[in-house]
Structure 1
Amino acid sequence: MPKSEIDAIDRKILSILQANGKISIGELAEKVGLSPSPCARRVRLLEKAGTIKGYAAIIDQKRVGLPISAFASIKLERQREEDLDRFGEAVSRWPEVLDCYLMTGQRDYLMRIVAADLESYEHFIKSKLTRLDNIASIETSFALGQVKRSAVLPLI
């Protein structure tokens, strides 16, 4: 579903689902002014098109024993396409990495990594990240606290 095919009702559906992914189709339909069948059809189309990528619970990382958020800036020795692809494939397999972005500027990648403690983070660096070929440097900053975190896009 191309961006131009998402209308105001779709945007309202998406906005509501971002706030409450467990809402029933009946409640969702009522909030967007549709009957349940057309609302369910729109949700299925948004899912099929990949606009809705999935549904998830938002977990408090501290309560599950992962209080450390580290932001690692990675510089590669070379930025050839195959090098970038190899790096991306490796990172995508590591559950500790929650976010990874290919960047412009001085560094090639910025990653958010969660860990139980500094020793766990050190183990991640030594056993995974530094074992990749083509890593020129790694600079890490640790979050002292979280001011805001959101997965909600400003749709309406």
Structure 2
Amino acid sequence: MARPVDARKDQALINILTANARTSVSEIAKVLGVSRATAQGRIARLERDGTIAGYTTVLGKEDHGTTISAIILIELEVKQQGGVIAALRKRTEVVNCYTLSGPFDLFVRLSCATSAHLDEVIDWIAEMDGVRRTTSSILLARKFER
């Protein structure tokens, strides 16, 4: 188990990378008050341990002509979660999938090139074996992201 000071520095490092994954190791070391080698070692350990699973590109507000996004809440039949998640994982339009507490079991974010394509994917999800019902919301504008 990491010492509390180490755990706080790891969380601070994660917060820095969450805000900007392109922050240089030198800048991270400076903010954390550690050497560059120590910061690089922490990053490597967090990646190796699976705490940091990868890095991604977050598109700005400009219209990149690429996507329309939606949030789909899914209520599942009993004991069908594994099969539904496996099927969702195979679709590149599914950007995120989270389990939930409450009346819905899954929270899924979709990203499609057109509204017609989005409609097809939403219909596909609704017709999947194991899906009891869905509720969909189109994402209009990102106000901020961390």
TM-score tier by shorter-chain length is 0.7 to 0.9
Are the structure 2 counterparts of residues 144 and 29 from structure 1 closer, same or farther at C-alpha, using a change threshold of 3 Å? Answer: closer
Q: Percent identity?
A: 26
SS across alignment from 2:69? strand
Tell me the CA shift for residue 8 of structure 1.
2.6
Match of 2:21 in 1: 21
Q: How does 1:139-150 map to 2 (within 5 A)?
A: 139-150=135-146
Are the structure 2 counterparts of residues 3 and 46 from structure 1 closer, same or farther at C-alpha, using a change threshold of 3 Å? Answer: farther
Counterpart-to-counterpart distance in 1, 2:82 and 2:4: 30
Superposed CA RMSD: 2.5
Match of 1:65 in 2: 66
Tell me the CA shift for residue 103 of structure 1.
2.2
Unaligned ranges ≥5, structure 2 = none
Match of 1:153 in 2: none
Code of the residue aligned with 1:75 in structure 2: it is: E
Counterpart-to-counterpart distance in 1, 2:138 and 2:96: 15
Are the structure 2 counterparts of residues 90 and 26 from structure 1 closer, same or farther at C-alpha, using a change threshold of 3 Å? Answer: same
Code of the residue aligned with 1:32 in structure 2: it is: L
Counterpart-to-counterpart distance in 1, 2:60 and 2:33: 34
Q: Deviations over 1:108-131 (max 9, x none)?
A: 2222212233211122234x3245
Highest RCO, 1 vs 2 (Cα 8 Å, sep ≥ 6): 1
Q: Deviations over 1:99-153 (max 9, x none)?
A: 2222232222222212233211122234x32452122222222233333333xxx
Count of aligned residue pairs for this structure pair: 145
Code of the residue aligned with 2:78 in structure 1: it is: Q
